[in-house]
């Protein structure tokens, strides 16, 4: 299976369940593995056949920053749904990390897999 990868996409947004969190931006780090048949893009060297990681990154940033969200679980589901519905990605693995959320941990996060390989 071919994949398009995005690593450590940093999104500044309002995220959290505590009142103090709802008053400031925090950074989420997103890792994506997206199933995509790269053969046509590679053979034609044509952008229109590729899954554009810049377009995906911009769309996800807009999605996650449009309104406050409480849970990173919600963020992961929103990302997976967007990729499958808007970009026709048949399978995706999404990791959402929230650095600094727990004092004694560098980061905490969730990982989900949606779709079929």
Q: What percent of the chain has pLDDT over 90?
A: 97
CATH of the domain at 70: 3.30.1130.10
The length of the chain is 117
Give the H/E segment covering residue 9: strand 3-13
Q: Taking a C-beta distance cutoff of 8 angstroms, is the pair 92, 32 a contact?
A: yes
Q: What is the 3 state secondary structure string of 87-101?
A: CCCCEEEEEEEEECC
Report the mean per-residue pLDDT for the chain. 96
Residue 9's domain comprises 3-115
Task: Indicate if the pLDDT at residue 46 is higher than 80.
Answer: yes
Please state the rounded mean pLDDT for residues 14-25. 95
Q: Which listed residue (22, 23, 67, 98) is catalytic? A: 98
Whether 117 shows a pLDDT value over 80: the answer reads no
Residue 22 bears catalytic tag:
no
Task: Give the residue-averaged pLDDT of 13-26.
Answer: 95
Q: What is the pLDDT of residues 89-110, one digit of tens each?
A: 999 999 999 999 999 999 999 9
Going by pLDDT thresholds of 50, 70 and 90, the confidence category of residue 116 is confident
Query: What is the tally of structural domains in the chain?
Result: 1
53 SS3 class: helix
Can you tell me the distance from the alpha carbon of 25 to that of 40, in angstroms, rounded to the nearest whole number?
40
Number of H helices, E strands in the chain: 3, 4
- Of the chain, the end-to-end C-alpha distance in Å amounts to 7
Environment class of 105 (CB within 10 Å of its CB; exposed 0-12, middle 13-18, buried 19+): exposed
């Amino acid at each position: 299976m071919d994949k398009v990868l995005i690593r450590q996409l940093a999104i500044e947004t309002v995220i959290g369940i505590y009142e103090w969190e709802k008053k400031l931006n925090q950074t989420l780090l997103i890792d994506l593995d997206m199933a995509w048949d790269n053969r046509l893009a590679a053979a034609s060297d044509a952008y229109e056949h590729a899954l554009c990681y810049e377009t995906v990154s911009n769309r996800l940033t807009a999605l996650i920053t449009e309104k406050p969200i409480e849970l990173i679980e919600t963020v992961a589901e929103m990302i997976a749904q967007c990729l499958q519905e808007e970009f026709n990605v048949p399978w995706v693995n999404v990791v959402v990390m929230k650095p600094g959320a727990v004092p004694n941990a560098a980061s905490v996060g969730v990982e989900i897999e949606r779709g079929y390989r």
